[in-house]
Structure 1
Amino acid sequence: VYNQLQCLIIARSVDGGLGNRMFLFASAYGLARLHQCHLYIEPWILFDLSGTFEPIHLPNLVNKTVYENLNKSLITARCLFSYYKADAVRMIAPFLKWHLALRQTCVYRYNCSLNDIEKMYSILKTQFPSDLNVTFSQLKQSFHSSDYTWIGIHIRRGDFLTFFKVSSSVEYLTSSMNYYRLKYPRSVFIIASDDKDWCLKHFGKRTDVIVTPKTYFHGHDMAALALCEHLIATAGSYGWWAGFLAGGDVVHDLSYPVRWQDCSRQTYFPPWFIFPPNITQLQNYSSSTEMTVTPQLTRGTL
């Protein structure tokens, strides 16, 4: 393998949580597949993903030993960039200012093996509840064959309240839930969030709402949302991926991404996302800035 390496995509670090790691892996894999390159992902990143997904095995994945031997053979770190094809560098250069745009763009705008990525991330580990002796796909099928329509809701709060100064309002969430209630009269909502006390306070008494237990970690919540048929998202990469894995309609709050991220909404949102009237109160983004929404598409039309 060492002598055959002519192009190598490397992913060594990533900030943030599970959603960011999923984007990092998907983008690196997409670039490697698109340009027929080998791929090196730091073992700790793969280990982190393996806590939620079944182990990922790729034929073009370079192990740490090969990577370290390659690294030792280089006189300077600058030489490492000779392993990138020039056209790949030109393609990603405009997005280096804000890497969030790169992650989303590579996943669907460049059609980087979208079906393969969906297949890899759909193999969720069934870790809840522990007494269920079924696969994730079997559990999802039982949900979809029931008399109810299961709608996932991911509510991102936590550091987004202070760092991005944005929080989806109760009015936005209620409006989005009513959209699905009208479309699917027998809807049941599963809410996952990093602030479940807030969710219980505002939605816990509703008979058609289930808030995931506080004992669930991010992998459990992702699996619960992926079981659903449609999704309501607020902000962040975690909700983006939950909507991707659910596979149906995704209603998203237009308050995110915020202006200073320099990530255009046309780049961030896939064409199958839909947008209700945006009534979230923003602290740092003018409500007069509207996104031009194109007719809704499905992933099958890409």
Structure 2
Amino acid sequence: MVKLAGPTLQYALITDSYYVDSQNGDINLLNTCVGTYCMDHAGCQLCNFPPNCTYGQDVQINCSANSICLSPTSAKLMAKCRFCWQIDQDEQDCEETKHCMSWDTRPVRTACRAKPTVYCMGRRTFFKNVRCRWTNGYSWSKTLFLSITLGGFGADRFYLGLWKSAIGKLFSFGGLGVWTLIDIILIAVGYVGPADGVSKNSGSNRLGELKQVRILPVGGSDVIFDQPWSITEVKVHKSVENAVNINKTQRYIVSTMSYSHGLGNQMFEYAALQYYAMKHGAILLFPSDCLLRRAFKALQYVEYVEADELYDYVERNSESHIEAKACCSYLPDLPLPDRVSIVDGYFQSYRYFWPSFDGEIRKSFQFLNGVRERAVNVIKTYSNGRTTVGVHVRHGVDITWHSRNLQHGHLSAPVDYYQRAFSTIEEQYGQVVYLVVSDNISWAKRNLPDGNRTLYFIENTDREVDLAILSYCNHTIISTGTFSWWGAYLANGTTLYYKDWPKKGSQLEKMVDKRSYFIPTWKEL
């Protein structure tokens, strides 16, 4: 591992980029160098930098081919002493990102790679925070202007290359104004963009240099501790270095918990990291702004570090950052070779904790008193001692209007699914009380079949309270997504789920292993 002491680099070895295989978790060397002239590509070489070289210093390095290559297979070269993540902007190519919004001032995280002619220490693929911008000549402000002035004729969508919907908009006169108004809103907030992929991070130099695009699970919002209840006070370390130096024999797993701000997504990530912590005898280091603190009393095996300091530490040590990008795979043997490992990922599989560590995970996910009291009050108000069934309806704009999420395979459960679920519940339990929570409660009110049923639609509550309500019900009808998944898991009763998620033939369907995602005792409809 490369060590840094002030501005001086103690020792280093350049290697090509490594990745975590989504199927078995093995770390593999990218095998793109075999049969080539390796000395023409820095990523196909192993280079020794002199010990104690100083950042920015010109030094001589000895390089040799790290694969089966054509001659020559060794060389002595001059290079600057620096990590790959320290190289200049024009020396790297960064991944296009389609999930960022060009209007947003907040940075997004993207993968970058040192160019073939650049020699540097550490992993050649690294991560950095960049700002979004539109590319290929598209202008967000121009699109918004066209939408406001000529949107009724479809000018905004013609400009973005969305010609099919533009024709429909033109001949319907902007949906008599309704479509035009909706488009103004969707363009303003970044949900509608160019047909070839809206946004690209500002760290990339050329469009299309790297084709891999990471689409995050949807849901969530910014981490803001403005909840109307008290959270658990915790000790916060000033830095990762301070935390790990308290006990130099203790192992640590550092995580940004930043793959998604969705509450259910973060619960999955924590559950898997708890598994790794138990397996390796490690302590988890999370940023102090981890949103799970808004919901739960105390997560086991977790200590906290000042958020900005932890993010800086991860960026400085990006060459050792292990990431599991596949959303729903089980990686039981993820290798953690270092005393301090950096791990992030989706880890959306029950197999990390059920049934072996069911008790441990339930102990961690104990709701804060303020959350619990609000949820219990709702249950008592509406149940009148009868059996309660929590119903989650996911029908927000992120999966009903967001074209890229829809193309990726996200979808909402249809009305007939809820009809069948109600009938199934009533056949087994008779007359029950349904408590409905939703990210679009007005849609749920208009569309859920009531008949002679007792349905209560819970409004104006925080998402932590919504999750607690689901978890305190006797049984659960879940929607698509991880939020209601966890509500059902914590409720531990009969659970019904929509079997046709993700969309058939989609990229998301290829990523999801349903056998590892849906607990076997749950019933599909």
Q: TM-score by structure 1 length?
A: 0.70
1-side partners of 2:389 and 2:462: how far apart? Answer: 20
SS in 2 for 1:148: coil
2-side partners of 1:62 and 1:127: how far apart? Answer: 22
Aligned to 1:287: none
Question: How far does residue 76 in structure 1 lie from its aligned partner after superposition?
Answer: 5.3
User: Is 1:230 aligned with 2:508?
Assistant: no
- In structure 2, relative to structure 1, the CA distance for the partners of 1:114 and 1:10 (3 Å cut) is farther
1-side partners of 2:524 and 2:418: how far apart? Answer: 12
Residues 228-269 of structure 1, C-alpha deviations (whole Å, 9 max, x = no match):
011001200001001011110110001223441211111111
Partner of residue 208 from structure 1, selected from 442, 447, 454: 454
CA contact (8 A) 1:20 1:238 kept: yes
CA contact (8 A) 1:203 1:209 kept: no
SS in 2 for 1:167: coil
Aligned to 2:251: 7
User: Is 1:260 aligned with 2:507?
Assistant: yes
CA contact (8 A) 1:234 1:256 kept: no
Residue type of the partner of 2:248?
A: Q
Partner of residue 64 from structure 1, selected from 283, 305, 313: 305
Percent identical among aligned pairs is 21
- In structure 2, relative to structure 1, the CA distance for the partners of 1:174 and 1:5 (3 Å cut) is farther
Aligned to 1:272: 521
2-side partners of 1:23 and 1:30: how far apart? Answer: 11
Aligned to 1:123: 367
Partner of residue 150 from structure 1, selected from 369, 379, 388: 388
* Residue correspondence of structure 1 range 135-214 to structure 2 within 5 A: 147-158=385-396, 159-161=398-400, 162=402, 163=405, 164-203=409-448, 207-213=453-459
Question: How far does residue 117 in structure 1 lie from its aligned partner after superposition?
Answer: 1.0
User: Is 1:35 aligned with 2:280?
Assistant: yes
Residue type of the partner of 1:170?
A: V
1-side partners of 2:450 and 2:267: how far apart? Answer: 33
Question: How far does residue 125 in structure 1 lie from its aligned partner after superposition?
Answer: 3.5
Residue type of the partner of 1:211?
A: F
Aligned to 2:289: 44
Q: CA RMSD in A?
A: 3.5
1-side partners of 2:355 and 2:428: how far apart? Answer: 32
Residue type of the partner of 2:358?
A: L
2-side partners of 1:29 and 1:229: how far apart? Answer: 27
Residue type of the partner of 2:448?
A: F
CA contact (8 A) 1:151 1:231 kept: yes
CA contact (8 A) 1:9 1:37 kept: yes
Give structure 1 stretches of 5+ with no counterpart. 82-86, 92-97, 129-133, 277-302
CA contact (8 A) 1:139 1:227 kept: no
2-side partners of 1:210 and 1:178: how far apart? Answer: 17
Residues 78-117 of structure 1, C-alpha deviations (whole Å, 9 max, x = no match):
3677xxxxx84349xxxxxx954x2324533683x32111
Residue type of the partner of 1:152?
A: G
Question: How far does residue 139 in structure 1 lie from its aligned partner after superposition?
Answer: 6.2
2-side partners of 1:135 and 1:224: how far apart? Answer: 9
- By percentage of residues, which structure has more helix? 1
1-side partners of 2:250 and 2:437: how far apart? Answer: 44
2-side partners of 1:110 and 1:205: how far apart? Answer: 36
2-side partners of 1:118 and 1:23: how far apart? Answer: 13
Residue type of the partner of 1:123?
A: F
Residue type of the partner of 2:386?
A: Y
Question: How far does residue 6 in structure 1 lie from its aligned partner after superposition?
Answer: 4.9
CA contact (8 A) 1:51 1:219 kept: yes
1-side partners of 2:387 and 2:355: how far apart? Answer: 32
- In structure 2, relative to structure 1, the CA distance for the partners of 1:51 and 1:104 (3 Å cut) is same
Question: How far does residue 37 in structure 1 lie from its aligned partner after superposition?
Answer: 1.3
Q: What number of residue pairs does the alignment pair up?
A: 250
Residues 185-244 of structure 1, C-alpha deviations (whole Å, 9 max, x = no match):
12111111111011111238654101111x112112112111201100120000100101
* Residue correspondence of structure 1 range 80-119 to structure 2 within 5 A: 88-90=333-335, 99-100=345-346, 102-108=347-353, 111=356, 113-119=357-363
CA contact (8 A) 1:153 1:192 kept: yes
- In structure 2, relative to structure 1, the CA distance for the partners of 1:75 and 1:183 (3 Å cut) is closer
In our comparison, the structure showing a higher alpha carbon Rg is: 2
Question: How far does residue 40 in structure 1 lie from its aligned partner after superposition?
Answer: 1.0
2-side partners of 1:76 and 1:19: how far apart? Answer: 28
SS in 1 for 2:427: helix
Residue type of the partner of 2:507?
A: W
SS in 2 for 1:151: strand
- Tell me which of the two structures has the higher relative contact order, counting C-alpha pairs closer than 8 angstroms and 6 or more residues apart: 1
* Residue correspondence of structure 1 range 15-26 to structure 2 within 5 A: 15-26=260-271
SS in 1 for 2:367: coil
SS in 2 for 1:103: coil
CA contact (8 A) 1:230 1:243 kept: yes
